[in-house]
Structure 1
């Protein structure tokens, strides 16, 4: 089965929670197993832009009947992730480099809501520092990541953790409605993340340090810098972290 491949960087303890963050489980075991397979396939690059999803093949890999597969495909089509085809199959929707960058900018605006709220909570409730330390630990594995998918998974887990920290199901739901599972897979295709994984980690750690101080302004500035860094990589640039290359849109 594709999602159990040895060495797959997406196989980790936080995986199921991350998938729930991207595509809400239906409560029907067969459908949820199919959603899990397709979501992982999108994020780790197994399913790429324009690729046809064969319902029979997915059913065999996940060991379910065709009915759960078709239901899962209809759910993802409703989210705008795939297009249904006349012969009961489906195709992954494509996104251009510029469209992917625009989706990333929308995600920045959404996730800043959680970051601001987290800073306020930490300023008002110092006993939450231990929980923040767990969120920080998500980024500690980046130096050993060898794939874009693994880095993106850590980023998504970080923001899922921030949303949980804020006890904000609304932010999780908004992320699902913004088709994160779809456009994030194109970041992995367009951006060369692995050579910059240390810089990405350092950017996020600066964000966490600001959160730990309860400093919302510094946290927002650090996160805007990180998002501008990722956007540059999506555009195909190779930013020099030692130079003043960054262009940050005020927010």
Structure 2
């Protein structure tokens, strides 16, 4: 049996590969369906196949990659119907959370996520922007104080996080500068006013915009 100290380097390499691939995929460096060639990745990252394969397994659990029989690994894909259905489920869960949020809910998590989104937008960091975007939505849902609701909601976001990131990226290419973060600022302002109808209206505006083709 390996000692803990012997396992750390391998674990560190797995974490490195997961971090770099996540940043590439969610940051716009790879599109859905793009093949991930093992030989190229081991050479780029300077690691062996074992930690890379473990990283791929973890990324598959996160919904970012998928294993295709006899064809290797590729960036995950969803059908148009899958995307529409998952976004619809997301919207239902958000609406339920908003309508059941107590008036004295702690807004610190939402405020922190909004600040992170503003800062990543200012830096032009697409990966951090996508991460803060997801965290903001989770924080809004978490205001309801229902842990099971949050768990279900996060499971939906895992499946569509790549497409949420892709939507933000394409929005940045065609919409006015900083339009995405401004929409979320309006959402945050409605949450801060503790105005459920305004929050729902902001979410409706949010959901109506899709740049995924």
Aligned pairs (5 A) from 1:106-185: 106-116=89-99, 119-120=101-102, 123-125=103-105, 128-141=106-119, 144=122, 146=124, 151-162=129-140, 170=148, 171=150, 174-176=153-155, 178-185=158-165
> With structure 2 as the length reference, what TM-score do the two structures score?
0.69
Residue 83 of structure 1, aligned match among 67, 71, 91: 67
RMSD (Å) for aligned C-alpha atoms = 3.7
Return the alpha-carbon distance in structure 2 between the equivalents of residues 218 and 53 of structure 1. Answer: 43
Answer with 178-187 or 167-176: which moved more: 167-176
> With structure 1 as the length reference, what TM-score do the two structures score?
0.60
CA apart distance, 1:31: 2.8
For the pair 1:201 / 2:181, whether they are aligned, the reply is: yes
CA contact (8 A) 1:136 1:208 kept: yes
Aligned to 2:52: 69
Answer with 43-52 or 96-105: which moved more: 96-105
Q: 1:206 to 1:39 in 2, by over 3 A?
A: same
Return the alpha-carbon distance in structure 2 between the equivalents of residues 173 and 42 of structure 1. Answer: 23
Return the alpha-carbon distance in structure 2 between the equivalents of residues 198 and 47 of structure 1. Answer: 22
CA contact (8 A) 2:190 2:198 kept: yes
Aligned to 2:6: none
Aligned to 1:18: none
CA apart distance, 1:172: 5.1
Which ranges of structure 2 fall in alignment gaps of 5 or more residues? 1-10
How many residue pairs were aligned?
200
CA apart distance, 1:149: 5.6
CA contact (8 A) 1:135 1:162 kept: no
Return the alpha-carbon distance in structure 2 between the equivalents of residues 223 and 181 of structure 1. Answer: 17
CA apart distance, 1:59: 2.7
Return the alpha-carbon distance in structure 1 between the equivalents of residues 13 and 141 of structure 2. Answer: 28
CA contact (8 A) 2:172 2:178 kept: no
Residue 39 of structure 1, aligned match among 22, 33, 39: 22
Return the alpha-carbon distance in structure 1 between the equivalents of residues 68 and 161 of structure 2. Answer: 17
